[in-house]
Structure 1
Amino acid sequence: MTEHKSLWVVWQNVDTRLYYHIGTLSYFDEHYEFTYTFTGEGPQKVRDALENGYMLHPSFPILDKTYVSSKLFPAFDRRLPSEIRSDFGHILDELHLTESSSKMDLLEQTRGKLANDTYSFEKPLRIENAKLMTSFFIHGMRHQKDLPENWYAILRSFNTIELKPEPNNEVDANAIAIYTELGIKLGFIPRFYATGLSALLAMGIQPIIKVNYINEQSNSDWWVKVDFESDVLGLSDTELKKLDPLFEYAV
């Protein structure tokens, strides 16, 4: 079966620290495609980003063009660790990958982040077997003033986490905070998912969210990764579009 994988290309405004899903990178039928989210009129897409300081990537200067390549675009490929590095095998081990893993797998695991960079690559909201699924790292942990120094020990001992919408949040009315079962606020669901997942919660659907990975020794961007899953069986096409007009079905 031909591999089909997509990743959201996300840009962060360094002044406001807000995130936007500005494009999607896909691999299928042995070629790569990149397109901006120009058909998405809602918040956190590229049109919203352009109004808030974003400038189109110089390698992709046309907003409504689908860029196609038989190889990973150089602008994205340079974000990956080089295969000729002496420690490349160790890097793969750390990322739980193998030499047969694809560049899209490597880009997903590393998130393509560079030091002091405004771009990252994130798993999309995706429907598979009537379930809405994704995984992500908790955002904003280092900005939580009441986060205990031993938060990682607490989370390992009491690893149940809960979602709490914050409709009065001054930055984003769709903000969804993440708490431990002891009531400790860890951070937030990434903003580029928040609109869709807020709509899901408003429908009365309770998702399953589980801690996948904890690494308190890493940069705060990689402290805690969680898996998200929600049953969407029976939702109409209109209701599904409320989750995200650009989400995709698994192929």
Structure 2
Amino acid sequence: MSRPFVLWLIWQNERTRQRYHVGNLVHHEGKYMFYYEKHAKRRGVIEALKNGYHLHLAFPDVNKVYVSERLFGPFERRLPDRRRPDFQEILRAHGLSDDYTNMDLLRATGGRLATDTYEFVPPIYVYGDEFDFEFHIAGWRYYEGERVLDRLQVGDDVTLQLEPTNEKDPKAVVVLTKQGEKLGYVPAFYSEFMFRLIDESGGTYKANIQFIHPNANPQLKVNVYVYGTLTPTMKKLQRDMVHDMELVVTV
């Protein structure tokens, strides 16, 4: 069975700066699908709607699974224009070859626009007892990352540590270097998974730096890759957290 290409659609509340996992974009066996993440118990579309979010105009039905033979127009327009003179430089900057797909480019760039606060991020993939995901460190500009950036190297291990005293988010997970410097946080739409893995289930994981882009925007400078093993308890918790996400992410 081939692994579906899945991206989570994230929306950020401009006032509170909180981010929510509002939808899922899937490319599998030649078809594109989009549907809202209405089953998430935390930071999904239902919570987002209560905090200022409005459904995307192109996808007005929160209960529908939208299907297309090609990438949906509103998402395709979020990609860099191939006619740009610097398009090849964009591909190289994101480590993409000329045989990239639209989903590759959407994943690499996040599909960010200056006109809204949407972005696409990779999901948590679960396959059997194992999982993996990647993320850009949240809150980079506020902690020690910039000071130690020239010492960081691709492949360096990092530690993910719970921060239950965090007043804004008791399930926050901090990213630390091996020396204990605070680089920032695991983004909130991943943090409950890691919080439960570390705090409740005894699951194991490894986390290391996958990419470093010193000249990128602060929120895109360092990318971390996490992989590990789920215990039976965590597998049950994961099913409870994501509900129907297994249909498109578990392989």
When normalised by structure 2's length, the TM-score is 0.91
State the shift of 1:135 in Å.
0.6
> What is the rounded CA distance, in whole Å, between the counterparts of 2:19 and 2:119 in structure 1?
10
The CA deviation at 1:247 is: 3.9
In structure 2, do the counterparts of structure 1 residues 107 and 51 end up closer, same or farther at CA, with 3 Å as the change threshold?
same
Q: Specify the SS of the correspondent of 1:112.
A: coil
Aligned to 2:59: 60
* Residue 7 (structure 1) aligns with: 7
Match of 2:46 in 1: 47
Structure 2's unaligned 5+ residue stretches are: none
Amino acid at match of 2:71: L
Q: Report deviation, 1:149.
A: 4.5
Match of 2:185 among 165, 185, 188: 188
1:157 deviates by 9.6
What is the one-letter code of the residue matched to 2:218?
S
In structure 1, the partner of 2:207 is 209
Alignment of 1:56-205 (within 5 A): 56-115=55-114, 117-128=116-127, 130-144=129-143, 147=144, 149-156=146-153, 159-202=156-199, 203-205=201-203
Deviation for aligned residue 1:59: 1.2
| Offset, 1:3 | 7.0
C-alpha displacement of 1:237 = 4.7
2:135–2:225 CA contact under 8 A, matched in 1: yes
Q: What is the Cα-based RMSD across aligned positions, in Å? A: 2.2
How far 1:34 sits from its partner (Å)? 0.6
Q: Contact between 1:199 and 1:243, CA under 8 Å: does it hold in 2?
A: no
Aligned-residue offset at 1:236: 6.6
Q: Matched residues in 1 for 2:68 and 2:155: separation?
A: 46
* 1:223 equivalent among 221, 224, 228: 221
CA distance, structure 2, for counterparts of residue 104 and residue 158 of structure 1 = 25
Count of residues in Structure 1 that have an aligned counterpart in Structure 2: 248
Q: Distance in 2 between matches of 1:157 and 1:124?
A: 21
Give distance in 1, aligned partners of 2:90 and 2:22.
28
Cα pair distance change 1:94/1:52, threshold 3 Å:
same
What is the CA-CA distance between 1:169 and the residue it aligns to?
A: 1.0
Query: What SS does the aligned partner of 2:204 have?
Result: coil
| CA gap 1:63/1:148 in 2 versus in 1, 3 angstroms | closer
Percent identity (aligned): 34
- The letter for the 1-side match of 2:4 is H
Distance 1:37 1:111, change over 3 A: same
Tell me the secondary structure at the aligned position of residue 42 of structure 2: coil
Shift of 1:75: 1.1
Q: CA deviation at 1:168?
A: 1.7
- Normalising by structure 1, report the TM-score: 0.91
Range that drifts further, 158-167 or 78-87: 158-167
Once the two structures are superposed, the pairs formed by residues 224-243 of structure 1 within 5 Å of their partners are 224-232=222-230, 234-235=232-233, 237-242=235-240
- Deviations 1:122-175 (CA, angstroms, capped at 9, x unpaired): 11111135311001100011122xx26432123239933111101121111110
Measure how far apart 1:39 and its partner are: 2.8
For each residue in 1:32-84, what CA deviation from the matched residue of structure 2 results, as whole angstroms up to 9, or x when unmatched? 111001233x1100000011111111111111111111121111111111222
Instruction: From the superposition, tell whether residues 2 and 158 of structure 1 become closer, same or farther in structure 2 (CA, over 3 Å).
Output: closer
Measure how far apart 1:229 and its partner are: 0.4
Q: Is the 8 A contact 1:158 1:181 kept in 2?
A: no
The residue type equivalent to 1:103 in the other structure is: N
1:21 partnered with 2:18: no
- Which structure is higher in helix share? 2
The question of whether the paired residues in 1 share the 8 Å contact of 2:154 and 2:212 is answered with: no
Contact 1:131 1:233 in 2 (8 A): no
